[in-house]
Amino acid sequence: MTATPGPTSLRRTRSGRTIVADRVATGVLWALGVFVIVVLGAIIVHFIIASIGVVSFSFIFGDPSETELGGVGPLIWNSFYMLALTMAIAVPFGLLAGIYMAEYAGDNQVTSAIRFAEEAISSVPSIVVGLFGLIVFVNLTHWGFSALSGALALTMFNLPLMARLSEQALRAVPADERSASLALGATKWQSIRHVVLPLAIPGLVTGIILTSGRVFGEAAALIFTAGLATPTNYDYLNFNIFDPQSPWSPLRPATTLAVYIWKTNSEGLSQYAAQIGDGSSAILLAAVLVFNVAARFVSRRLTRRLTAA
């Protein structure tokens, strides 16, 4: 060994350059983080401020109007209705596909082609999905512009996304837990049902949140499928789903809030277009936030109940 290390040797093990590099890296990452937060914060603050004076009880619950500010009640309803309809299709099928891909399908060229397709389809430009929906779900089916056509178009990219994210959530469950279950004489399905799925809940909920976020925000795919008609006079107590006048019917045009923002601001017919846009955006942001928080809350409760964690 060389010279006896003095009492300060500990402080000299790292050269000045390493320390500088470390500080620069920390600084850059910190600055990028702050930048992202500031941009997000600015968007939120902008819409909060812009929506002051616009968002009121009558704006949230009232009917839209061509001559006045009007409200967005039926459009909020349609957004949630489309969300429920899309998720009712995408979640069960996506989850089952994910289970199949994670637990049953082998690792071969077919499954890797499927995985590639899932990722590719879920990132197809939504206007393309909208045109496809127009041909298949609107014209071919003779349904016309309808909530169901819109929901099916949204399913086009939500289903593969949900399948891919569920597969990843299931694969993230430690192999130990599966082995333990199988070694106790549980069947494969019992192991999935009682051990793997409960452990995958947080990941599955992330999948649901990511896919549903697209439903709230999607406009292009819905313009050609769910329609642009301005909805008024919804009778929410008409539960006859076969009556095209009923807001519960899937076979009626269903303009969502995001589509309405696009419509009012591109048509330029309403002099309140900017205010409607600001107010609707604030409501959209709030709706997404409420949905995410609620989903996390349910996820935590469910996980606790199923796993005693």
Partner 1 sequence: MTSGDQMDSASPADEQILAAIEAAPAVAPPRIVPGGPTTAATAIAGAATSQASAVKVSAQAVNISYGAKLAVRDVSLDVSERSILALIGPSGSGKSTFLRCFNRMNDLIPGARVDGQVQLDGEDLMHPEVSVVELRRRVGMVFQRPNPFPMSIYDNVAYGPRRRGNSNRADLDVLVERSLTRAALWDEVKDELKKSGLALSGGQQQRLCIARVLATEPEVILMDEPASALDPVSTLRIEELMRELREAYTIIIVTHNMQQAARVSDHTAFFNMGEDRAGYLVELGETATLFTKPQNQLTEDYVSGRFG
Residues near 242 by Cβ (< 8 Å), separated by ≥ 6?
249, 251
Q: Does 184 bind partner 1 (CB under 8 A)?
A: yes
Encoding tokens for residue 198? Answer: 């409960």
Nearer to partner 1 (CB atom), residue 186 or residue 210 = 186
144 dihedral zone (left: phi>0; alpha: psi -120 to 50; beta): left
Q: Does 177 bind partner 1 (CB under 8 A)?
A: yes
| CA–CA separation, 267 and 273 (whole Å) | 9
Within positions 124 to 163, which residues make up the interface with partner 1, using CB under 8 A?
Answer: none
Q: Does 199 bind partner 1 (CB under 8 A)?
A: yes
Q: How far is the CB of 195 from partner 1 (least distance, A)?
A: 6
Nearer to partner 1 (CB atom), residue 153 or residue 195 = 195
Nearer to partner 1 (CB atom), residue 177 or residue 243 = 177
Q: Does 202 bind partner 1 (CB under 8 A)?
A: no
Encoding tokens for residue 47? Answer: 């819409």
Q: Does 301 bind partner 1 (CB under 8 A)?
A: no
Amino acid at 162: M
Residue in the block written with tokens 């996980």:
303
Q: Does 299 bind partner 1 (CB under 8 A)?
A: no
Within positions 78 to 107, which residues make up the interface with partner 1, using CB under 8 A?
Answer: 106-107
Q: Does 194 bind partner 1 (CB under 8 A)?
A: yes
Q: Does 109 bind partner 1 (CB under 8 A)?
A: no
State the number of CA atoms in the 13 A half-sphere of 33 facing the CB: 6
Is residue 174 within 8 Å of 249, Cβ to Cβ? no
The 10 Å CB-count burial string (b at 16+, else e) for 129-155 is bbbbbbeebbeeeebebbbbbbbbbbb
Q: How far is the CB of 117 from partner 1 (least distance, A)?
A: 23
Q: Where does this chain bind partner 1 (CB under 8 A)?
A: 106-107, 174, 176-177, 179-187, 190, 194-195, 198-199, 306-309
